[in-house]
Structure 1
Amino acid sequence: MRPPVEVSVLILSLSAPGVFITMNNIPALQEPLPILGMGMVVLGLVLLLLLLTVRNLKKVDPLFYVFAGFSFTCMVFLTNALEQDGFISGFMAFYLKMGEPHLRTAYAVMTSYWEGVVHLLLFLTIIHRMFRGKSYRSLGLLWAGSSSAIIVHIPGVVIGKYGSNIQPAFWRNVPFFLVPFWAASLLFSRPREMPVVTADKIIAEQKKGLLSRPVDLLLSLLLLGAMAFSVFRGFVVLDCPLDACFTYVYQYEPYLKDPVGFPRVMMLVYLFYALPLLTVFIYGLKTPGCSWMLDWTIFLAGAMAQTQWCHIGASLHSRTPFTYRVPADKWWPVITLNVLLAAVPALLALRCHNNPTYFLKPVPEGQTINEKKKN
């Protein structure tokens, strides 16, 4: 009897540390170009093994190869995190020296933990649901949003202090940058599962103003707070001369000035990408029938969960120089604000998922939303 596909994927993923410890003991594979070449060979072998795993199945979703292939890299990331924090040794030294030295940074370590734990669990859950005919669209969008955090990682390396020491292996990140956005486009284009809601209920819910929906009113206020905080920190990393910005960066969150580059890029991404989305979410809470809220809130929740995890962890991690860590006497206000910034999109996504009636398109009276889709 063959094991479930997700078990096979997990077993394949667990081989990643063995690959690295083998490469760590072969001197010929410890030069920049051989490292890149070996990485491509290993990725090709992983895809070949995945093809063999599902060769007897009639139809396989192309996203399976994305989720299963990325599961292997999750274990690579987890191996890096555990080695950087001293739990294991002898796996990553050669790769960090001649491949991607920026993986030693606190931000990269926190990213590695997120990839190795959160993303791996997401992948296994998605694959489990995929081969049992269950919907995984929302989980896929959550992962796609979380993976979009790579738009912080790559520019952060290029403009930060490691930008002058980029090795060929760094360019292995290109497919990991492009594939999540391709996967997201596929997931967005697929029909979402809609609840059975009558037209009368939709009309009654959508007649309520914002003041009649206290939860949505509170979420709108929290979104305004998140927007203000994003704008403020964007000004801080742009060297705004206001006294408030100067005080904040030196007395509260000096990590924003860390020369690794990641916090600076993250604040700019928030300013130019997250801020517009937060703005349209307020519009969506005020205007009935904005069905796009059901997808985009999940996407942004995933993105901000990962970026805030990495930002908070890196600002406290021992690998961040002491002068750039959050001061001990300012720990609670800074961490509370950063946790809230991650929590607000997540709470909004939960609200949209648990009670989507307000965001559904109006249907003729006497029909349900599912009946409209059939007609």
Structure 2
Amino acid sequence: MRPPAEVSVFLLSLLAPCVLYTMNNIPALQEPLPILGMGMVVLGSVLLLLLLTVRHKKNLDPLFYVFAEFSFTCMVGLTNALEQDGFISGFMAFYVKSGEPHLSTAYAVMMSYWEGIIHFILFLTIIHRMFKGKSYHSLGLLWVGSSIAHQIVLIPGVVIGKFGSNIRPAFWRNVPFFLVPFWAASVLFSRPREMPIITADKIAAEQKKGLLTRPVDLLLSLLLLGAMVFSVFRGFVVLDCPLDACFTYIYQYEPYLKDPVSFPRVMMLMYLFYALPLMTAFIYGLKTPGCSWMLDWTIFFAGAMVQAQWCHIGASLHSRTPFTYRVPTDKWWPVITLNVLLAAVPPLLALRCYTNPAYFMKPVPKGQTSNEKKKK
């Protein structure tokens, strides 16, 4: 009797610390090029083992291989986080020294915890649902949002930050990990979402309500506006705006924004140029009935923002961030409160869309249900 797929993936992922420990104790494998080569060999071997594990399955979703392979790297990330925080030793020293030195930063440690715990649980849950024939659409979108947000901060941050002059060959293994989530996102966005059965009358009644008569949507719109203002302000701060308010904020409230690792600077620019237009679109979607794209994009956005804010908040308080760049003790509450609110708004918006989607569904003729229209 074969074990469930998620159990096989879990057990295979547990090999990651063993591989790291072995490499950490073989001097010949601790040079930059051998590290990259061994990394590719290990990932290729994991893929081969996965193919052998599911060879009896027909018409297997290709995203399974993505989720299973990334599960292995999640354990690498968790091992790194635990070693950098002093809970274990003897696993990652060689890789941090000769592979990716930026993995010792506070941002990378918080990112590694997120991957090793949240992403890993997501992958196992998705694989379980996949083999049970259940939908994993929303969970998949949460992951691609989180993964893309991580990569578009990590790669530019390394290149333009203080580690840019010390990039080793192993850094380029991030390229496929950057491209694959975009491919997975295109696959998931192109697949139809499973919708609840809602009558045309209920959809019409919901869509006749104005924003002022929907207090939850009104509150979410106001929170999005506040998040937009905060994002614009911090974008100006990292762009060295000469206004006194910007100068005061970066020196007295969030000095982490000027940390030379550059991850916080890139993240604020990501908010300014990517999150801001999306939040503007969401306000439009809350005001205009029939914007069915809200159902997927709010989940994607929630995954991205929660991951980004987890890394940002954690790194701004972490002991690996130099003391002068950490949030000052007397400004802890206002800064953390604002950052937690920024992290909370997207999931609340996604939850609202997911639990009561009638306002965002396309209108259907009277007497039909949303599912009947879809079948025609």
TM-score, structure 2 as length reference = 0.99
1:43 partner amino acid: L
Give the Cα–Cα distance (whole angstroms) in 2 for the partners of residues 252 and 296 of structure 1.
Answer: 32
1:111 partner amino acid: M
Give the Cα–Cα distance (whole angstroms) in 1 for the partners of residues 333 and 299 of structure 2.
Answer: 28
1:1-375 equivalent positions in 2, closer than 5 A: 1-149=1-149, 150-375=151-376
Give the Cα–Cα distance (whole angstroms) in 2 for the partners of residues 235 and 266 of structure 1.
Answer: 12
2:61 partner amino acid: D
Give the Cα–Cα distance (whole angstroms) in 1 for the partners of residues 51 and 182 of structure 2.
Answer: 23
2:152 partner amino acid: I
Give the Cα–Cα distance (whole angstroms) in 1 for the partners of residues 337 and 124 of structure 2.
Answer: 31
SS at the partner of 2:354?
helix
Give the Cα–Cα distance (whole angstroms) in 2 for the partners of residues 302 and 78 of structure 1.
Answer: 19
2:10 partner amino acid: L
Give the Cα–Cα distance (whole angstroms) in 2 for the partners of residues 353 and 99 of structure 1.
Answer: 42
SS at the partner of 2:87?
coil
Q: Deviations over 1:43-86 (max 9, x none)?
A: 00000000011001112100000000000000000000000000
Q: State the 4+ residue runs in structure 1 displaced beyond 2 angstroms.
A: none
SS at the partner of 2:154?
helix
Percent of matched pairs sharing the same residue: 86
Give the Cα–Cα distance (whole angstroms) in 2 for the partners of residues 3 and 332 of structure 1.
Answer: 48
Give the Cα–Cα distance (whole angstroms) in 1 for the partners of residues 124 and 155 of structure 2.
Answer: 26
2:146 partner amino acid: S
Runs of 5+ consecutive residues of structure 2 not aligned to the other structure: none
Give the Cα–Cα distance (whole angstroms) in 2 for the partners of residues 58 and 165 of structure 1.
Answer: 46
Q: CA deviation at 1:360?
A: 0.2
SS at the partner of 1:128?
helix
Give the Cα–Cα distance (whole angstroms) in 1 for the partners of residues 112 and 203 of structure 2.
Answer: 43
Q: CA deviation at 1:310?
A: 0.2
1:20 partner amino acid: L
2:65 partner amino acid: Y
SS at the partner of 1:288?
coil
Count of residues in correspondence between the two structures: 375
Runs of 5+ consecutive residues of structure 1 not aligned to the other structure: none
2:323 partner amino acid: F
Give the Cα–Cα distance (whole angstroms) in 1 for the partners of residues 244 and 162 of structure 2.
Answer: 27
